[in-house]
Structure 1
Amino acid sequence: MTVHAFVDESRRNDTYYLGVALVDPGALAPLRALLRGLLLPGQRELHFNRETPQRRRLVLSRLAHFGARVDVYRADCRKSEELARRTCVERLVNDLLDLGAARLVLDSRVGRDYHDVRTIRDVLGTRPSESSMAYEHFDSTGDPLLWLADLAVWSYGAGGDWGRRVAPVIGSVIRLDWS
């Protein structure tokens, strides 16, 4: 079965994290409904950096119960955050092609999305027979499944109790660190 992938980033000191929520087509609507149901009145998105610890615990508990999965790509970003992101996106796209992913949605980094487009096109160009995967950038309010990637990668990067709480949601961790 093909999957849809939703991507957001986080940075902690010298480590760059790219989280990818992998969602089966049949789970798209129920997971979106769950995430929208966690919004407070007047809230347009869940962004873990702005949530209280109590809200973070509630959200992580609900997602773990749902069985959501987020893979984490990590790279050293001391030399360049953009190079770290490119390294992560290259590996991510290759992994998604191996999975037969139908769609890739990345959280928009207004003014810098062209870097991702170039990286994705470069990877797809090396695998022309598998290049039917659709990809696009959305503002984080555009799809609740981007929130899933955000909250998982934020929690994983924070470590400690947050890392423990998000562990049931984390699938693979792919280290792409370089020296």
Structure 2
Amino acid sequence: MPPRPRARIHTFVDENKTRGLLMAAASCPASAVSINRRTLAGLLMPGQRRIHFQKESPARQRKILAAITELDTATNLYATPRADVESRRRCLTAIVRDAARTGERLVVERDESTLDFDRQTLYHAVRIYDCVETLQYELLAPHLDPLLWIPDALVWAWAKGGEWREQVRESCTTRPV
């Protein structure tokens, strides 16, 4: 039997540091990337360069979450009780671990304060999980790829709790760090 073709998955990562560190890794098949980007870009208000979920009104937040939950995506959540560098390393490494087998592209929202640390962590993680040749990673500003708005919204909703978490619960899976 010939080997199964490798799935081509793109994963987009953002974080919330409200209570510890919570990272969201939203994944979608490569074949769905373009349509998902168009859908999200269509949610922009005139003059908006990006969606920054916490800055939206509650009505817009509900509309955005409703659209996101209809997309062909799945989101893994990685939580640690502290938002320190070791926790960040553990979360990013776990994200690479989970993307290593099927991932083609990993995009982490760029944070200038952790840029060098994130690059170093991802460099080591792709070697630990033997996906140097198969998983391309990059750190991007959120306005450069609308798919970064998915983990931004979902990580905010999950961290907020209550009705917000309930709205995204079926779209999110908690994963060990």
- How many Å separate the matches in 1 of 2:77 and 2:38? 23
Q: CA RMSD in A?
A: 1.4
CA distance in 2, matches of 1:25, 1:169: 18
TM-aligned CA deviation for residue 144 of structure 1: 0.3
Q: Distance in 2 between matches of 1:52 and 1:127?
A: 41
- 1: distance between equivalents of 2:113 and 2:44? 28
Q: Does residue 140 of the first structure (1) align with residue 142 of the second (2)? A: yes
The reply to whether residue 97 of structure 1 matches residue 100 of structure 2 is yes
Alpha-carbon separation, structure 1, partners of 2:145 and 2:53: 15
Q: Which residue of 2 aligns with 1:173?
A: 174
Match of 1:5 in 2: 11
TM-score by length of 1: 0.89
Q: 1:34-113 maps to which residues of 2 (within 5 A)?
A: 34-77=39-82, 80-98=83-101, 100-113=102-115
Q: Is the 8 A contact 2:94 2:176 kept in 1?
A: no
Point out where structure 1 has 5 or more consecutive residues left out of the alignment: none
CA distance in 2 between partners of 1:103 and 1:22 (Å): 10
AA aligned opposite 2:140: F
1:149-174 deviations in Å (ceiling 9; x for gaps): 1001110111100001112321x202
- Following superposition, the deviation at residue 68 of structure 1 comes to 2.9
Letter in 2 for 1:121: Y
Aligned equivalent of 2:132: 131
User: How many pairs does the alignment contain?
Assistant: 170
What letter matches 1:3 in structure 2?
A: I
Distance 1:110 1:26 in 2: 30
Deviation at residue 120 of structure 1 after TM alignment: 1.4
1: CA distance, partners of 2:25 / 2:52: 15
Counterpart of 1:131, as a letter, is V
Distance (whole Å) between structure 2 residues aligned to residue 104 and residue 49 of structure 1:
23
Answering whether residue 24 of structure 2 is matched by residue 19 of structure 1, we say yes
Instruction: Give the SS at the match of 1:23.
Output: strand
Q: Can you give the 5+ residue segments of structure 2 that lack an aligned partner in the other structure?
A: 1-6
> 1:105·1:138 contact (CA, 8 Å) conserved in 2?
yes
Secondary structure in 2 matching 1:84: helix
Amino-acid identity (%): 28
TM-score (ref. length: structure 2): 0.90
> Distance between the aligned counterparts of 2:112 and 2:75, measured in 1?
23
**Which whole-Å deviations, capped at 9, do the CAs of 1:49-107 have from their partners, x for residues lacking one?**
10110001111112222343211111111xx5222111100111111113x21111110
